[in-house]
Amino acid sequence: MNDSYYAPVVHVADERDEGRMLRDVLRERLGLSRRLFVKLKQSDEGLTVNGSKAYPSLRLAAGDVIEFRMRQESSDDILPQPMELNIVFEDEHLLVLNKPAGIIVHPTTGHYANTLANGVVHYWREKGERCRFRPVHRLDEDTSGLVIVAKHPYAHQQLSVQMGEGTVGKRYRAYVYGRPPADEGEVNEPIGRLPEDPHRRAVLPDGAPSLTYYKTAEAYPCGASALDVRLGTGRTHQIRVHLGHIGCPLIGDSYYTDPRWEATELAARLREVIGRQALHASELSFRHPVTGEPMKLIAELPPDLRELERELSRLSTPPAPRLESSTT
């Protein structure tokens, strides 16, 4: 078999597939998109049944082994750069990384180097793999945590469908000023672009429906909270906007800062500890795009957030009482 193909996706036909055409099983059972189906038909070696080239009109029998392969692609427009990568999971279909803060996921205009994509492309080339960099979702530059990268078009398509259906569980740890209105709750407010600054989002009446769930993990007496956050929707800057809307801006978030908090002694102390928004994508749960296996991946807190936790605990601990010296 030509080695210019990705690892095959395999499906063994069962009673539900008996007598059905191959094209229908690919679309309905495996969820293959029309665009990818067209690509398979154009490939000499991309679609086989029981090891032989197969045509879409073939009628299947139970036990038939269906395999399809996508042609390999590479991100020739991305400069490979050596980079230390924190890989949480990898197989022939996907790569999940724990992204550090301060790294952009994908090159943008005027920012072509030192992104996660540059490091991943270099890593794949060193391994002899040809894959196009396909992030399934993204994190803000100064948000740390889990990012999924698909290695081939079918894996990307299947994970994108899960994203669209809302079946990918995304959990975050956020450190904020203040206390939320309840220990556990939701923020169900529309988010849109501000006309005067299209890069900035805000709660606006004509914004897109947006839903964020939160639960207090720790209420620090010094005036801060640690929240476990779960997304119901995936809007740009959603967590930052929603938490600020309920009076709990993220510690270290200079873009969505609240002047009332920034003027406090607590903020001054914490600026010495952390220089970015205190937000970490800590957990992802989804179905593997090829095997269907349930996946749950966890990324531990990075060192700067662990230090922030320690500082919040120190600031919340009352000083030990002074012992008065006695004279005789």
Q: What is the pTM of this model?
A: 0.87
Residue 196: pLDDT over 60: yes
Strand pairing category for 191-194 and 197-203? antiparallel
The residues spanned by each domain of the chain are: 9-68, 72-165, 167-315
Do 139 and 147 meet the contact criterion of CB atoms below 8 Å apart?
Answer: yes
- 44 is known as an active-site residue: no
CATH 3.30.2350.10: does it fit domain 72-165?
A: yes
167-315, superfamily in CATH?
Pseudouridine synthase (3.30.2350.10)
CA–CA–CA angle 305, 309, 312 (5° rounding) = 130
88-117 CB burial, b ≥16 within 10 A, e <16: beeeebbbbbbbbbebbbbbeeeeeeebbb
Who has greater pLDDT, 42 or 240? 240
pLDDT at 108: 85
- How far, in Å, are 183, 188, 255, 312 from residue 229 at the CA level? 12, 13, 20, 19
Q: Give percent above pLDDT 90 in the chain.
A: 72
- Could you give the CA distance from residue 306 to residue 321 in angstroms, rounded to a whole number? 28
- What pLDDT sits at residue 81? 95
Domains 9-68 and 167-315 are alike in CATH topology: no
Length of the chain (residues): 328
Interval 126-141 mean pLDDT: 92
> Which one from 140, 142, 253, 304 is the annotated catalytic residue?
140
95 φ, ψ to 5°?
-135, 130
pLDDT at site 1: 41
CATH numeric code, 9-68: 3.10.290.10
DSSP string across 156-216: HHHHHHHHHHT-SEEEEEEEEES--SSSEEEEE--EEEETTEEEEEEE-TTSB--EEEEEE
Residue located via tokens 């800590």: 282
DSSP β-bridge partners for residue 53: 48
What are the tokens at 93?
């279909």
Identify the pLDDT of residue 299: 97
Say what percent of the chain tops pLDDT 70: 96
Q: What would the pLDDT profile of 204-238 be if each residue is shown by its tens digit?
A: 999 999 999 999 999 999 999 999 999 998 899 99
- Is pLDDT at 115 greater than 80 in this prediction? yes
